[in-house]
Structure 1
Amino acid sequence: MKKFLNQLGPGVLVSAAFIGPGTVTVCTLAGVHFQYGLLWALVLSIVSCIVLQEMSARLGLISQKGLSECIREEIKNPIFRIFSLVLIFSAIVLGNAAYEAGNITGAVLGVEAFFGPGNFITGNLQINLWSFLIGGAAFIMLAIGNYKALERIFIALVILMSLSFLITAVITKPEIIGILKGFIPSANSAEILTVIALIGTTVVPYNLFLHASLVSEKWQNATDLPVARKELIVSIILGGLVSMAVVICGASSRLTEISSAADMAAGLEPLFGKSATFFMAMGLLAAGITSSVTAPLAAAYVVKGCLGWKGGMKSFRFKLVWAIVLLMGIFFSSLGLKPIQIIQFAQIANGILLPVIAFFLFWIVNQKSVLGDYSNTKKQNIIALLVLAIAFFLGVKSIYAVISNF
């Protein structure tokens, strides 16, 4: 067990990255509105995530390069290369800067469940002090600039988050028969949008970039690939179980009028006591903190690869990128502002980016010149093509959803 714990790292960070406040909210609403009926969709999302992240991890380990760096080097057509890099930069860097406010706000909701609002009013301006506290904690973790230290912190946070949500699910005394029935696929027109949302919050474009870079930081030898795969599968399944636990909490809460996980945390107390609210809030806090760190970190890795920068996490330019993303998140979160236009642009860019990056990843892991004997097998390609179809569908739906709201 001690040996396996020492092998944990990149997969845990990826798992922590997709279990953010947005995922917790989507899973909460799925449970409240559809009970246990969409648990099967999370199984599909876990499988899809494992397939894509395995290809990303294999690319990072064998090539010892990040995904954005491989894109810059492997796409030979200069026009297509520039277009691809601009699209990636826009979706990941600007998108993560916009979403960072939501990550920090999610962690703030967890803090407020324990200590109440932290608003400070000066003149006509209202500032949330908890946003600065959460942002400061994320800044310190990133400023350490040591991958191994960050790895240990995240393992602790993911364990805390996992236990919090799983204990909350147990406290709500769910219906076992209902849970088992929830793994039987079925979706009507009312449920399909939530199914897409559940898969979309797990299969995240920026995690493909983050994972390849993190794997190359931790392992340098091809013989470590079996360990990297095992660590990835365990971490993603654990993340999926956490998402399922949140769905179960929502289904068991018997609440009807909620808009976020924070509402559910407050609503659980009259039904199941303060302990349920405590663990739910603790999980939300941990989810917000982990996402507040991974989003700026992924943005920094993307810029590093796109621009061909050298140096690791301790380089000034690398730190400057994540600092800008983090500070923007703190700013928007503390003022309660929502950068709607940036988020809408980021959603469209991400909608285009997910299938594009998934297809590029599929293409590059089939290149013998890049991965040699570690390129995709026929069986891997068949499974990957099915996942690519899902990614394409998610991308089209994401773009349509944003455009229809204009």
Structure 2
Amino acid sequence: MFNKIGPGVLVAAAFVGPGTITMCTLAGTNFGYALLWALLVSVLATIILQGMAGRIGLVTQSGLVDVVRTELKTRWVKNFVIAIVLGAILVGNAAYEAGNIGGATLGLEQLLPQPQLRSFLPTIIGSIIFLLLWFSSYKILEKIFVGLVGVMGASFVICAVLVQPSISEIFKGMFIPRLPENGLLTVVALVGTTVVPYNLFLHASLVKEKWNSKTDLKAVNWDTIVSIGLGGLVSMAILITASAAPISEINNALDMAKALEPLFGKMAFLFMAIGLLAAGITSAITAPLAAAYVASSCFGWEGGMQNKKFKMVWTIVLLCGVLFLSFDIKPIEVIQFAQVANGILLPVMALLLLWVVNKKSVMGENKNSLVQNAFGVAIVLFTIFLGAKSIFKVIGLF
């Protein structure tokens, strides 16, 4: 069973990062169990979209951008799509990398007794990630991620059990959709932290690293469903913990741990710190990796992870994250641009994904079924709504 687990774990690790942890904590604190249904819908949408991306990667043995670039015949349309993808992924991931490393730093700070080391933690974590990416192959990274996701998942699920939540309220929040007052933007944010555009590129590229035969399609589907389902379980565990914990104010993810400490002692704080550290490191590895795969597909670089240009891209993304954090630069404008670009990118990529996966010339007998298309169209419509909301939100901040 575990031999069939692989790329999906990296996708799950990518979307369960410090941002997701903070967002789920805020959702649970502000609205209780009421928005569990939004996480459930997000996870199902992610499984469907990532399943399509994984299938494309297996059947074509190419990255998603490679396929789109080949299939788009009109030059200006092709160049426009590639420009949008590069802008959103490279700039966006560089901006958000600071948050990923910051989350790992926040978790590690709680585990270190020497406060004088704390100013060096972003550089230390950045160096560890650099060494892992520089010297590791895909197979080694896969094993590291399985371990880290296991630690992260166990930490947050244990916290959810400790708070003894109401089982009936959990089922009610999960299967009876309701939108509390002022809850719309939180729903949009929960979906946005789970259905992540760059994971579509990452998944297609990683599938072809692990599998090379169409007979492995069942393994790809198994990996996608199990891994992303477990990632969704972790997100739900965080929201459930925040709902049941006596929290008065939230500034970051560890505020929930501080609220749990009087009830359950240092162990709750320890589990939360370890979970946050693991979540930060996994997301801080996948964001640069995804950016490098996108650039590699756009420019047709050969050699995979060992290509020098490939390494240069993820090094720049990682370095930007460390510098933003080390010098306390607040990349507000960059992040705002990334939000706008991602708001455009998500529906564009969902449409392109649906288009490619229905082309018999590309997918053959593995093209979408009628049921898969129905779900795909519903998700596309929802991503258009989501993209419009995120863009309007950012424009309102200018």
Q: Which runs of 5+ in 1 are unaligned?
A: 121-126
Q: For 1:291-323, what per-residue CA distance to the aligned partner results, in whole angstroms no more than 9, with x for missing partners?
A: 000000000000000011111101111111101
Which runs of structure 2 are paired with 1:141-220 in the superposition (5 Å)? Answer: 141-183=132-174, 184-220=176-212
Which residue of structure 2 lines up, in the alignment, with residue 139 of structure 1? 130
Which residue of structure 2 lines up, in the alignment, with residue 380 of structure 1? 372
| Contact 2:288–2:313 under 8 Å retained in 1 | yes
Per the alignment, in what secondary structure is the counterpart of residue 337 of structure 1? coil
Q: Distance in 2 between matches of 1:130 and 1:178?
A: 40
Q: Distance in 1 between matches of 2:303 and 2:352?
A: 25
| RMSD of aligned residue pairs (Cα, Å) | 1.2
Q: How many residues align?
A: 397
Per the alignment, in what secondary structure is the counterpart of residue 65 of structure 1? coil
Counterpart among 45, 50, 70 of residue 73 in structure 1:
70
- Are the structure 2 counterparts of residues 173 and 115 from structure 1 closer, same or farther at C-alpha, using a change threshold of 3 Å? same
- Are the structure 2 counterparts of residues 294 and 117 from structure 1 closer, same or farther at C-alpha, using a change threshold of 3 Å? farther
Give the residue type in structure 2 aligned to 1:8.
I
| Contact 1:118–1:130 under 8 Å retained in 2 | no
Which residue of structure 2 lines up, in the alignment, with residue 124 of structure 1? none
Q: Distance in 1 between matches of 2:395 and 2:180?
A: 23
Deviation at 1:173, TM superposition (A): 1.7
Counterpart among 257, 260, 263 of residue 252 in structure 2:
260
Which residue of structure 1 lines up, in the alignment, with residue 111 of structure 2? 114
Give the residue type in structure 2 aligned to 1:178.
E
Which residue of structure 1 lines up, in the alignment, with residue 352 of structure 2? 360
Counterpart among 87, 90, 93 of residue 84 in structure 2:
87
Q: Distance in 2 between matches of 1:289 and 1:116?
A: 20
Deviation at 1:119, TM superposition (A): 6.0
Q: Distance in 2 between matches of 1:262 and 1:56?
A: 34
Deviation at 1:267, TM superposition (A): 2.5
Q: Distance in 2 between matches of 1:333 and 1:117?
A: 20
Q: Distance in 1 between matches of 2:10 and 2:137?
A: 14
Q: Which runs of 5+ in 2 are unaligned?
A: none
| Contact 1:206–1:298 under 8 Å retained in 2 | yes
Which residue of structure 1 lines up, in the alignment, with residue 36 of structure 2? 39
| Contact 1:29–1:259 under 8 Å retained in 2 | no
Deviation at 1:338, TM superposition (A): 1.7
| Contact 2:246–2:259 under 8 Å retained in 1 | no
Q: Distance in 1 between matches of 2:131 and 2:122?
A: 14
Per the alignment, in what secondary structure is the counterpart of residue 298 of structure 1? helix
Q: Distance in 1 between matches of 2:115 and 2:100?
A: 17
| Contact 2:14–2:283 under 8 Å retained in 1 | yes
| Contact 1:33–1:256 under 8 Å retained in 2 | no
Q: Distance in 2 between matches of 1:209 and 1:286?
A: 23
Per the alignment, in what secondary structure is the counterpart of residue 313 of structure 1? helix
Q: For 1:323-378, what per-residue CA distance to the aligned partner results, in whole angstroms no more than 9, with x for missing partners?
A: 11001111111222221111100110000000000000000100011111111111
Q: Distance in 1 between matches of 2:228 and 2:304?
A: 26
Q: Percent identity?
A: 54
Q: Distance in 2 between matches of 1:133 and 1:168?
A: 28
- Whether 2:310 is the aligned partner of 1:310: answer no
- Whether 2:70 is the aligned partner of 1:56: answer no
| Contact 2:16–2:194 under 8 Å retained in 1 | yes
Q: Distance in 1 between matches of 2:279 and 2:184?
A: 26
